[in-house]
Amino acid sequence: MTRRRLEKETEKLIELFHNYLTMNKGLSEETASEHAERIRFFAFHYLIGYEGKSLLEVTGYDIEDYLGNWYIRKVLNSGNSDVRPALIAFKKFFKFLHENGKISKEQLEDILSACEDPQKYIRRFETYFELDPESETWDEDFERWFMGQEEEIEVNYEQPFEVNEEITGAFSEDDLKSSTASVLNDFQTFLNYISANNGMKLTAASSFIGRKHVFALNEAMSSPEELKSTANQPDSRTIHLFYNVSMTLDLFVVSAKNTLTVTPRIDIFKMLSPKEQFVVLFDAMWNETSWEKFLQPNSGGRPEWAQARRWDMAYLFSRCESGETYLFKEQLKEAGMELENTEDELEGYWMMAEFILSVFVE
């Protein structure tokens, strides 16, 4: 079959799929178009452009290679949030083909088997972006990743927390007691809510906390944010930060069924003293979690650069006296000039400093 004919038949199948979703399944035009577009991208860029095969020839291996390898390396700005929407589209499309006698039951089962575990593909994204191009072992590390031989990280959920000594020595129990910051109480409230709703279903696209729970959590905070009725998890700075820090600390995990499951580490965390809890929480935010995760998806800026230079930001914070009021952006500019930062660098600092202050300082 010529490429032109293959492309024509592919487009016809996708059009039939789109009509099936809207007319037979009652999906909105927007949702149906999103599913169809994901199949179109897979078909034209990967199957036809890379493999030279049709949608009717797809196997489970094609799904695994596409989402676990090709898509990660070849698609600009790809991310692990793309995994679940793609798998949903695949399931709907190939079930549609089977219902219409286009593929066999065995072929469908093979494809659906490859779609069962989104965490497998999410982990592939994470391990790929953890590779260091500057490392002397880059070639060997990439080959291991490419061959699927990267080491599986086994988490010991019974392991005690390491309490950062440097942060511990920076303030006293009395400092914490006299502080008006409510971040620790809010984080404890967050964990109690998650524990009470253990097994909650997460959003299909990004595995985030659902809107109903986001609003309930926001109302439980000491200073609720003003959220629009259409708000999602990333729209709440506090909830979004708590979610990502909790993932860093392994307080809960996302299951293969896309539910939030608490681990024994929540109880271990609760056994720490208030000061130890604050140190562990701050350390996870300041040192262990990628700051890019705290921002809205595709929000721009350079959070990873700001994090690499976070000690400059610490210098700024150290200039501020407790209980005093500051024009923070002016203080940032003044400190930045002393450190010979450019205007662009200061903007990068400001975005992250404002975010951190909005959650950790009251």
> Measured between alpha carbons, how far is residue 193 from residues 216, 221, 260, 264 in Å?
9, 11, 12, 15
Q: Give 53 or 204, the one with higher predicted confidence.
A: 53
> Measured between alpha carbons, how far is residue 355 from residues 165, 166, 269, 292, 358 in Å?
25, 23, 24, 12, 5
Of 212-226, 234-248, 347-361, least confident by mean pLDDT is: 347-361
Query: Which among 118, 44, 58 is positioned nearest to 93, based on CA atoms?
Result: 58
Give the pLDDT score at 353: 65
Task: Look over the chain and give the mean of its residue pLDDT values, rounded to a whole number.
Answer: 86
Give the pLDDT score at 275: 94
**Residue 310: both structure tokens together:** 């976070």
Give the pLDDT score at 143: 83
> Measured between alpha carbons, how far is residue 41 from residues 10, 45, 54, 90, 304 in Å?
11, 6, 13, 12, 30
Of 73-82, 204-213, 249-258, 340-349, least confident by mean pLDDT is: 340-349
- pLDDT, tens only, 59-87: 999 999 999 999 999 998 788 888 989 99
Q: What is the mean pLDDT of residues 106-115?
A: 96
Query: Which among 275, 241, 306, 248 is positioned nearest to 167, based on CA atoms?
Result: 275
Every domain of the chain and the residues it spans: 3-129, 166-360
Give the pLDDT score at 104: 96
Residue 326 has pLDDT above 90, yes or no: no
Give the pLDDT score at 161: 94
Residue 198 has pLDDT above 60, yes or no: yes
**Residue 347: both structure tokens together:** 């903007």
Burial of 233 (0-12, 13-18, 19+ CB in 10 A): buried
Q: What is the mean pLDDT of residues 333-359?
A: 62
Give the pLDDT score at 226: 95
Q: Tell me, yes or no, if the pTM score tops 0.85.
A: no
DSSP code of residue 297: T
Residue 172's pLDDT band, with cuts at 50, 70 and 90, is confident
Query: Which among 319, 295, 353 is positioned nearest to 79, based on CA atoms?
Result: 295
Contact yes or no for 306/348 (Cβ under 8 A): yes
Contact yes or no for 279/168 (Cβ under 8 A): yes
Q: What is the mean pLDDT of residues 299-323?
A: 65
Partnered with residue 254 across adjacent β-strands are: 260
Residues in the chain: 362
Q: Give 128 or 310, the one with higher predicted confidence.
A: 128
Residue 360's pLDDT band, with cuts at 50, 70 and 90, is low
Give the pLDDT score at 176: 82
Give the pLDDT score at 179: 78
Give the pLDDT score at 24: 93
Give the pLDDT score at 286: 86
Give the integer Cα–Cα distance in Å for 218 and 238: 8
Give the pLDDT score at 246: 96
Give the pLDDT score at 154: 64
Residue 250's pLDDT band, with cuts at 50, 70 and 90, is very high
Q: Which residues contact 125 (CB under 8 A, 6 or more apart)?
A: 72, 78, 79, 80, 83
Residue 329's pLDDT band, with cuts at 50, 70 and 90, is low
